[in-house]
Amino acid sequence: MNGKALFALVLLVSSGCWAQTQYTIPLERANPSLALPLMAAGDGVLYIAYRSATWLRRSDRLQVVAYNLNSGKELRRGTISIPEVRGARAADGLYLSQDRKMLAYAEVHDPCVLLLISAKDLTELRRSTSLPFVHQDDEWPRDSGGELFAGFDNHGLLSFAFGAPRRRGIRFVRIDPASLKVVADVLAAKLWQGQSENLVWSPMAKRTWLVNNSNVWQEFAESGQYTDEEFAGPQGESYGAVTFGEGKLLAFFGRWDHGTAVSYDNHQMNDLNLPCAPFQYGISNDPEFAGALCVVSRPTRQELWKETSSEFLLLKTDDPSVVWREKDISLVDIAETDKHGHEYYQKGNPLVYREDNKIYVVAVTKAPELKVYVVPLPE
C-alpha cells in the first residue's frame, strides 16, 4: 500500500471515529439571541422545542423536532402556533412523560402557554394560555427564586413551584394533563428563597432545598416541615445545586479560581475540590450524573470580575468526581424584559441523557445548532 492510500485510510478511519463521538444538529429558523432551544429525551430519541423568529424579531411559532440520538438523523418535525412575542423570550421547560407518549412545554409568564404535544407525531394535544398562578403586575416583587416548571411527577401530574410575592412562602402546584386543571395547590408559608438562588425542588420526592446567607442548605417537605437534613457548605459564593433524591443534594460553591462540589446524602458529605468556581449547568435524566460549568475569573478595575476560562464538567453525584470535561461547552443564556420591566432569565442548560453504557451530552450553542457529545462510561 502506498503512502497516499495509507494517509487516506487513516483520515477515513479518524473521521469515522470522530463522527461516532461528536456531531452537530442544525436548528432551522432558530435565533439563539432571541430564544434558546429546550430538550428532552427518552428511548434513544431527542426532542427539541424552540421559537422561530422573523427578521422583525417577532415569533409566534414553536418548532418541535425529534432526532435519533444514535444515528443523528431527523425522525420528524412539527410547527405549532403559540402566543406572539417580540424580542427575547425565556422559556421554562420541555419534559417527556414517563410513558414516553407526551411532551409538555411551558412558558409561565405573560403571555403564558402550556402545551401538551404528542411524542408520536409532534402535533398539539391540548393547551392552556390562562394558567391560574401566573403573576399580576401588582404581585411583585417575587423574592423567592422565581418560577420553576419541573415536568411530570411520579403520578403523571405537571409540577410547578414559585415564590409567592413579598416573601409569603413558596407554592407547589400540580396540574392534571388530561384536563389542564389545578388538582393540588400547597403553600409553604414559612419558606423563602433569596432571589439570587433558583428553586431546587424534586416533585418526585416532594422535597425542596433552601440555602441561607451562611451557605447552609436545608431540606423541607412541600408542607414547609423541616426534614432534619442540612449541611453547611465551605466559604465562598453559593452557585446552585441539584437534588438527586430524598435527602440528597449536590451543591456548588466557589470564588474566582477555586471551588467545591459538595455531595450530601442523608447526613453524609463528600467534597470535590476544583481549580475553578463551579455552578449548576445542565439537566440530567439520571440522578447519578449532573452537569456543571467550571469558571476561572479574576477581579478587574473595570468590572467586578472577568472570566478568563471555563469548561463543562460531567460529574458523578454521590461521591463527586469528574467523569468527562469539555472546554467547547460554554455558558449560553438570554434575558427577557417584559412591558412592566420584570426580568426573566434562561440558561441554555445542556441535556445529560444516559442510555445503557454511554451518556449523551447535548449542548446549546450561540449558533443555530446543537452539539451532541457521546461519552462512553467505564465498564
16 is written with which cell numbers?
Answer: 469515522
Neighbours of 80 (CB within 10 A): 18
Gyration radius from the chain CA atoms = 21
Report residue 269 as a C-alpha cell: 458529605
- Looking at residue 15, what is its pLDDT? 32
Q: Looking at the domain assignment, is residue 5 inside a domain?
A: no
* pLDDT over threshold 80, residue 4: no
pLDDT the model gives residue 130: 87
Q: How far apart are CA 133 and CA 142, in angstroms?
A: 13
Res 166: pLDDT: 60
CA triple 281-148-200, angle to 5 deg: 60
User: What was the pLDDT predicted at 122?
Assistant: 98
Local confidence band at 257 (pLDDT 50, 70, 90 cut-offs): confident
Look at residue 7 and tell me whether its pLDDT is greater than 90. Answer: no
Residue whose entry in the numeric block shows the C-alpha cell 424579531: 57
Which amino acid is located at 357 in the chain?
N
- Return the minimum-mean-pLDDT range out of 94-108, 110-124, 337-351, 353-367: 337-351
**Nearest residue to 310 via CA among 251, 265, 259, 268:** 259
Q: What is the DSSP string of 249-276?
A: EEEEEEETTEEEEEEEETTEEEEEEESS
Q: Is the bond preceding 111 in cis, omega lying within 30 degrees of 0?
A: yes
Number of alpha carbons in the 13 Å side-chain half-sphere of residue 9: 6
Please name the residue that has the C-alpha cell 404528542. Answer: 118
Would strands 351-355 and 358-364 be described as parallel, antiparallel, or unpaired?
antiparallel
The answer to whether residue 287 sits within a structural domain is yes
- Whole domain around residue 296: which residue ranges? 233-331
CA 278 to chain CA centroid, Å, is 15
Cell numbers standing for residue 69:
440520538
- pLDDT (0 to 100) of residue 74: 97
Mean pLDDT, rounded, for 321-325:
96
pLDDT in tens, 128-184: 998 876 554 445 444 435 689 999 999 999 999 987 766 678 999 999 999 999 999
pLDDT tens digit sequence for 273-302: 999 999 999 999 999 999 999 999 876 665
Strands 283-284 and 351-355: parallel
Instruction: Determine contact, residues 207/227, Cβ cutoff 8 Å.
Output: yes
Give mean pLDDT, residues 31-47.
97
At 255, the pLDDT band (50, 70, 90 cuts) reads confident
Per the structure, the count of domains in the chain is 1
Mean pLDDT within 258-287 = 95
Structure-model confidence comparison of residues 146 and 118, the more confident one: 118
Give me the chain's average pLDDT, please. Answer: 87
Handedness of CA 118, 124, 126, 129 (dihedral sign): positive
Contacts of 326 (CB under 8 A, 6+ apart): 311, 312, 361, 363, 373
- Grid cell, residue 238, equals 453559593
What pLDDT is attached to residue 306? 65
Q: Are 92 and 345 in contact (CB under 8 A)?
A: no
pLDDT attached to residue 167: 60
E strands of 87-146, at which residues?
Answer: 93-96, 102-107, 113-118, 124-128
In this prediction, residues 122-132 reach a mean pLDDT of 92
Q: What is the pLDDT of residue 272?
A: 97
Q: What is the pLDDT of residue 194?
A: 62
Instruction: For cell 467545591, name the residue.
Output: 260
Nearest one of 362, 357, 361 to 376, comparing CA atoms: 357
6 secondary structure, DSSP code: H
Residue 88 has a CB neighbour count (10 Å cut-off) of 20
* Pairwise CA distance, residues 5 & 105, whole Å: 51
pLDDT of residue 293: 96
Q: Measured between alpha carbons, how far is 46 from 23 in angstroms, rounded to an integer?
A: 13
Is 203 a member of any domain?
no
Within a domain: 253? yes
pLDDT at 379 over 90: no
Q: Point out which residues pair with 44 in neighbouring strands.
A: none
Average of per-residue pLDDT across 116-131: 95
Residue 150 lies in a domain: no
CA atoms of 163 and 171, how far apart (whole Å): 6
266 belongs to a structural domain:
yes
Question: To the nearest 10°, the Cα dihedral for 184, 185, 191, 192?
Answer: 120
Q: Which amino acid is at 209?
A: W
93 versus 199: the higher-pLDDT residue is: 93
Query: By the 8 A CB rule, do 265 and 248 touch?
Result: yes
Confidence category of residue 27, pLDDT binned at 50, 70, 90:
very high
Residue at 238 is within a domain:
yes
Q: Is 349 a domain residue?
A: no
Instruction: Give the three-class secondary structure for 20.
Output: helix
Digit-coded pLDDT (tens) for 67-82: 999 999 999 999 999 9
Query: How confident is the model at residue 300, as a pLDDT?
Result: 65
Contact (CB, 8 A) for 188 and 222? yes
Say if pTM beats, i.e. exceeds, 0.85: yes
